Structure 1
Amino acid sequence: MNWIVPRVRNVRRILPYLWFGALLGGFYGMLHDQISYTISREYFTDFKFHQFRYADFHLPERLYVGIIGFLATWWVGLFSGWFLARMSFNSDDLQTARRDILQGFAIIACCAMGAGILGGVAGYLNYYVFDAQEFLGFERQFSGTTLKRFAIVGTIHNAGYAGGLVGLIVAVFLLKRKMKQRLSDVDM
């Protein structure tokens, strides 16, 4: 229960990292979706724009894509920040805790980016090299190159979320190990 409900003295320490994580996740999503939009405009115009129609303020498409990217990913950074901060602020060493949290965010971002790139390669191989003709029922709406690009971007997005989750798991594991190492060094 200690991981979910913080001690009152730690709440003030945790909040800035929640905000930082949310902003970092949101900005990552904005950049990610700009790249995705370049690969497949249809992924947004025929799919994401409908999902996020509540955020349509009739701005130019690129700005709308950025808003969608932010709204789709801010929560991942917030969630990650919660777990990283909860783990790190169990001690009173603020400098070490800050460094651990920032390293955790870096691990998560690298894993998400790496997984997105691998997703793009996998999508490309599946839809160009192996000439797959299906993608979650969208083949009824698209065909040829448009479907292939749409499917590649869909694979990139799914892989990026999976990479973020793997990154959080890796970051938590590594931070736990570092904390145990520091405790054993103090005991010596």
Structure 2
Amino acid sequence: MMFTAHYQSPLGEILLAADEVGLTGLWFDRAKYYAAGLAPQSTERETPPLTEAKRWLDVYFSGKMPDFMPPLHPIGSDFRQEVWALLLQIPYGQTTTYGALAARLAAKHGTARLSAQAVGGAVGHNPISLIIPCHRVVGASGSLIGYAGGVERKIQLLKLEGTDCIKLFVPKKCELRAEQAQSKDEQKM
């Protein structure tokens, strides 16, 4: 059985999903893969994993690093599970690159190299964004790319964590898309 709950964050509404084991999903409203994998027969109800996730979010959005982890149960391939496990090791307030994650996985498997793009695909399909901190992954040049919740949210999350953003930037193509999306939203109002 799948259960859902909603959480109102300073960066917009969040949909949470959990099964009996733990949290299976966390999506910002209008995220690229919003509710991907969520069973249509899910029930809105508070459960211990959802309550713990909300408590984690309360601490996080107060500007503090949570000192606990709600039970997690992300569903994905073995490769994606490995990438998501690496994401959980990125320290609060710090960033890493897709290439660095690929190098760590390659070393773990004893291979010369692994595709940073493959790692990027797994990062981008992280079903429990924020708690599994995919927002802490940036391009090799410092570009803020690849966050399904949106580049603006990624920037806000990094700032909330006190990340040194001096060398980070939004690629021009992303800036243009963000401006176009904002313009479309304003036209709807």
Q: Quickly name the TM-score band, shorter chain normalised.
A: under 0.3
Over alpha carbons, which structure has the higher Rg? 1
Q: TM-score, normalised by structure 1?
A: 0.25
Q: TM-score, normalised by structure 2?
A: 0.25
**Structure whose residues are more often helix by fraction:** 1
RCO greater where, 1 or 2, for CA within 8 Å and sep 6 or more? 1
**Structure whose residues are more often strand by fraction:** 2
